[in-house]
């Protein structure tokens, strides 16, 4: 999860109009781009973990499912932070300073709430309020809705046309629905 924007100059990091676009388009800052990418990565990772937990023959233990999802999300978050630090070292020939490191940690940790509701749903299964299958299905749908919300909120402020906004949203939702369909088909066999 290397940040491809790691090559931006430190002076560009806080500007909303990087590069002075001639047509007045607002260009997202490197911080906005990295925050958005991190939320999408963690949400897709959570969806993939929920898919894996739904495969027949996997554990039917909600406590184990909760641990697997929590550890998986923490692991991808830690991996992303490590990748950002290494990318910064490679691009800038130094480790990130205090402000830069704080931003990288904030970005990595900022994506963790995307898994709060799915973990809560699995927690309900752990408390025997709902079945694990129902909890995983609900978690899958929540992740899809979360992806749609993340993309919608990110693109609605852009100056791209409505058709492009809808296409971006549709692409993410279709990919997520395919993952959920695979999850459902795997559970039927």
Q: Which band of pLDDT confidence, cut at 50, 70 and 90, is reported for residue 160? A: confident
User: Could you tell me which of 33, 27, 48 has the C-alpha nearest to residue 1?
Assistant: 33
Mean of the per-residue pLDDT values of the chain: 81
Predicted confidence at residue 3, as pLDDT, reads 44
What tokens appear for 103 in the block?
Answer: 């931003």
Contact assessment for residue 5 and residue 92, using Cβ atoms and an 8 Å cutoff: no
- In sequence order, which residues have a C-beta less than 8 Å from that of residue 149 and are 6 or more positions away? none
Cβ count near 14 (within 10 Å) = 11
What tokens appear for 92 in the block?
Answer: 């800038």
* Residue range 57-86, pLDDT digits in tens: 777 899 999 999 999 999 999 999 999 999
Domain, as residue range, for 177: 4-188
Total tally of structural domains belonging to the chain? 1
Locus of tokens 């997520």: 176
Predicted confidence at residue 181, as pLDDT, reads 78
Query: What is the 3-state composition of the chain as percent helix, strand, coil, each rounded to the nearest 5?
Result: 75, 0, 25
Predicted confidence at residue 66, as pLDDT, reads 97
From CA 148, how far away is CA 174, in angstroms rounded? 10
- In sequence order, which residues have a C-beta less than 8 Å from that of residue 183 and are 6 or more positions away? 50, 51, 54, 136, 137, 140
């Amino acid at each position: 999860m290397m940040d491809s924007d790691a090559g931006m100059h430190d002076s560009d990091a806080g500007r909303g109009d990087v590069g002075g676009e001639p047509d007045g388009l607002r260009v997202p800052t490197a911080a906005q781009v990295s925050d958005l990418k991190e939320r999408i990565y963690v949400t897709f990772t959570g969806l993939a973990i929920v898919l894996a937990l739904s495969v027949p023959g996997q554990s039917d233990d909600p406590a184990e499912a909760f641990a697997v999802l929590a550890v998986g999300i923490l692991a991808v978050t830690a991996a992303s932070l490590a990748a950002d630090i290494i990318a910064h070292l490679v691009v800038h020939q130094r480790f990130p300073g205090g402000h830069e490191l704080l931003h990288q940690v904030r970005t990595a940790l900022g994506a963790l709430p995307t898994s709060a509701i799915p973990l809560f749903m699995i927690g309900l299964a752990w408390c025997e309020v709902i079945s694990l299958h129902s909890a995983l299905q609900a978690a899958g749908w929540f992740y899809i809705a979360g992806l749609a919300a993340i993309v919608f909120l990110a693109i609605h402020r852009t100056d791209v046309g409505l058709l492009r906004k809808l296409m971006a949203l549709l692409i993410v939702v279709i990919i997520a629905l395919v993952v959920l369909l695979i999850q459902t088909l795997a559970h039927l066999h």
